[in-house]
Amino acid sequence: MFPVSRFFLLGLAVFGLCALAQPTAWPTLDPAPNPYGWHNAPVTVTLHASGGPGLQVCYRLSGGTPVCQPPPATILLAAEGVHTLEYWARDDTGEGPRRTLTVRIDRTPPAIHVQVPSRDARYLLRQPVRADWWAFDRPSGLELVEASARNGDPVDTATPGYQTFWVWARDRAGNETRVEVDYLVICAIETVLPSGFFLDRLLPPEERALVGRFPVRARYTVGEPITVAFRLKDFFGQIGPWTRPNLLVTQVRPDPEFEERHTIWAWLLIPYVPEAGIYKLVYDTHERAPGAYDLWLSFGDGQSERIRIELLHKKP
């Protein structure tokens, strides 16, 4: 019996392992998926392979026709949905194992619909209003949703003026949506003067002649005071100093280019009178010249009234 060299046995083992080795393919993704396994942008899949002579890498996308080529092979996936990529390697010795890669792409932000509060809606101060909205996403599904108020919870109507209700959502692919709805919280306005108007005088309809672009609604003589008064209430009828209303006084003059030109003469805060529960201001006209004036009455909650008056010459 002839002796067998251990180097001969080692070489025989290495030869056997090489003979048994199969071609192998493996993928890399750019960009890599997020922790949920989703992408929100196109994905480039590169298939690499190792093997012997005649090496090729093969793939079949979503059950389509197989494609084989020398490695590496690059596949761009851009369409939304779940893509299934079957891949393998082959060489002159045969075909390696087949494996499957799943690529999930969601490029559409979540959908958000706000029913309440409705856009540009008006609600009375402290009016009970319940939020009504929903958020939805496919195919990845919602990961996180935040809002000014949860669905069914009260909407903020405690502060007069313009308010913004918002809902923000992010899906499991990282797409985000934010929807904002502006609404107005107003006070109920009640007149308190005998004229039934915001001023202590009000012309009957048949006497409201046009002066410039607007009809005159009250007339005063230079030097006569103009009394402005009203009351503000909340949804439950409670009276209070809910806002900081003001009065802007402008003199109106004809202008050939703009029809009218305004000169500002006063901008005054209308004080609250706690004893009467009203806002009241007396405007002195001694220093004003005869002519047309606009009283821009702002109630401090987004509501306003433009009142054109006429100042007449003093009686002799």
Domains of the chain, by residue range, sit at 8-105, 111-186, 189-312
Q: What was the pLDDT predicted at 21? A: 80
Q: From first to last of its 316 residues, what are the pLDDT tens digits of the chain?
A: 445 444 444 443 433 444 458 999 999 999 999 999 999 999 999 999 999 999 999 999 998 999 999 999 999 999 999 999 999 999 999 999 999 999 999 999 999 999 999 999 999 999 999 999 999 999 999 999 999 999 999 999 999 999 999 999 999 999 999 999 999 999 999 999 999 999 999 999 999 999 988 999 999 999 999 999 999 999 999 999 999 999 999 999 988 777 899 999 999 999 999 999 999 999 999 999 999 999 999 999 999 999 999 999 987 5
CATH, domain range 189-312? 2.60.40.3720
Superfamily designation of domain 8-105:
Immunoglobulins (2.60.40.10)
DSSP 154: B
Give the total residue count for the chain.
Answer: 316
Q: In angstroms, rounded to a whole number, what is the distance separating the alpha carbons of residues 148 and 157?
A: 12
Q: What was the pLDDT predicted at 101? A: 97
Domains 8-105 and 189-312 in one fold: yes
What's the pTM value of the predicted model, to 2 decimals? Answer: 0.81
Handedness of CA 199, 205, 206, 211 (dihedral sign): positive
**Residues 190 and 231 sit within 8 Å (Cβ to Cβ):** yes
CA 158 distance to own-chain centroid: 22
Class of domain 111-186: mainly beta
Q: Is 15 helix (H, G, I), strand (E, B) or coil?
A: helix
Edge-first strand order for the sheet with 188-190 is 188-190, 226-233, 278-283, 272-273
Q: In angstroms, rounded to a whole number, what is the distance separating the alpha carbons of residues 221 and 285?
A: 8
The backbone torsions φ and ψ at residue 130, rounded to the nearest 5 degrees and listed phi first, read -105, 135
Which structure tokens are listed for 218?
């009250």
Which structure tokens are listed for 189?
């306005």
Q: Is 271 helix (H, G, I), strand (E, B) or coil?
A: coil
Which structure tokens are listed for 254?
């004809």
- The backbone region for 92, taken as left when phi is positive above 0, alpha when psi lies in -120 to 50, beta otherwise, is alpha
